[in-house]
Amino acid sequence: MNPRALQNREMHENGLNLENAGSGTSPLKEFLSLIKIGIVISNLITVFAGIWLALYFSGLGFMEHFNLVLFTLAGTALIIAGSCSINNYLDRDIDTVMERTKGRPTVTGRVKPNKALGLGVVFIFAGIIFLFQTTKTAAILGITGVFSYVVLYTIWTKRRFAANTIVGSISGAVPPLIGWTAVDTNLNVMALGLFLIMFLWQPPHFYSLAMRRVDDYKRAGVPMLPVVKGPERTKMSIMMWIALLLPTPLLLSSLGTSFIALASLLNLGWLASGFYYYRKKPPKIWAQKMFIYSLQYLTILFLSMVVITLF
């Protein structure tokens, strides 16, 4: 991934429109920035994988259940977009002092705070209605995801505890479960495996980002792990969380030995990269390499879950 693509991806993930720091803005760009479109899209990949695998292992056809797929994707996209909009509303005070977030429309004033809050509430309400068109379990999981992101993470832990990333990982691990339970409400080993992979993936991903943006978090007074414990402790934590991913491919053994081999190679490659560059690169450069790998890891892993069932 080239540096420009990495910059684009990171800015989208954190809700920052690439154009919003300058004069070339538009209502569409501001809207996409407000809902953090990068986060919405990346989560929909995991939702779709959950839907696809549940259909596949239930012996159900994709086209015969296309309406269910649309309801699930639309509902999940809306609750994530709504949650992100509320997150922007709640964090607008600290976003003003962080370089990567100071261009958000809730900071610049191009979107009024009450409008961001209102849009978030409407989107969440609409998304839950969509999810109730699938199964009650999927809708309840959607509500759980919203609560964990908005209340447990944004309001309660983000500004108080270094463990905020771990708490935030709960909401990020819910989307594939929403996809699965929209089809099959039985949370079997594979469904729980999807949740666990997403939960364990997020700390090394976001700790790497926090290491690269540690000065931002210091200015904002957000107790991210690199701010509270320093880069060396954060590097150790990243490696520990990656190591915890090593046995997770076995939870998806129903996908066959090819998937287990690929997932295991991805896990070992991530761990090996971390060890190889551990002392060779400055902390921020090391974190950048780990961050890039985490993006590629997630995309390859979840796309492979779908592709491997086609052959």
271: pLDDT strictly greater than 80: yes
pLDDT band for position 21 (cuts 50, 70, 90): very low
- pLDDT tens, position by position, 93-145: 999 999 989 999 999 999 999 999 999 999 999 999 999 999 999 999 999 99
> Is the pLDDT score of 235 beyond 50?
yes
Task: Give the angle 196-200-205 at the CA atoms, nearest 5°.
Answer: 140
Is residue 12's pLDDT more than 50? Answer: no
Place of tokens 């199964």: 135
Distance CA 202, CA 170 (A): 9
Percent of the chain at pLDDT exceeding 70? 92
Kindly indicate the confidence band of residue 26, based on its pLDDT and cuts at 50, 70 and 90: confident
Query: What is the structure's pLDDT at 177?
Result: 98
Task: Name 50's Cβ contacts closer than 8 Å, sequence gap at least 6.
Answer: 175, 176, 177, 178, 179, 180, 182, 191, 194
Q: Give residue 260's pLDDT.
A: 98
Q: What is the greatest pairwise CA distance in the chain?
A: 53
Q: What is the pLDDT of residues 176-216, one digit of tens each?
A: 999 999 999 999 999 999 999 999 999 999 999 999 999 99
Q: Which residue has the higher pLDDT, 62 or 17?
A: 62
Mean pLDDT of 28-46: 95
* DSSP string of the chain, one letter each residue: --HHHHHHHHHHHTT--TTTTSS---HHHHHHHHTTHHHHHHHHHHHHHHHHHHHHHTT--TGGGHHHHHHHHHHHHHHHHHHHHHHHHHTHHHHTT-TTTTTSHHHHTSS-HHHHHHHHHHHHHHHHHHHHTT-HHHHHHHHHHHHIIIIIIIIIITTT-TTHHHHHHHHHHSHHHHHHHTT-----HHHHHHHHHHHHHHHHHHHHHHHHTHHHHHHHT---HHHHH-HHHHHHHHHHHHHHTTTGGGGGGGG-HHHHHHHHHHHHHHHHHHHHHTTTS-HHHHHHHHHHHHHHHHHHHHHHHHHGGG-
* Reported confidence tier of residue 14, pLDDT bands at 50, 70, 90: very low
CB 50 within 8 A of CB 58: no
Mean pLDDT, rounded, of the chain: 92
Whole-number percent of the chain with pLDDT over 90:
89
Does 266 score more than 90 pLDDT? Answer: yes
Residue 22 above 70 pLDDT?
Answer: no
- Could you tell me the pLDDT band of residue 292, with boundaries at 50, 70 and 90? very high
- Domains of the chain are 3-310 (1.10.600)
pLDDT higher than 80, residue 151: yes
164/286 Cα distance (integer angstroms): 22
- Predicted confidence band of residue 24 (pLDDT cuts 50, 70, 90): low
- Put simply, whether the predicted model's pTM sits higher than 0.85 gets the answer yes
> pLDDT category, 152, cuts 50, 70, 90?
very high
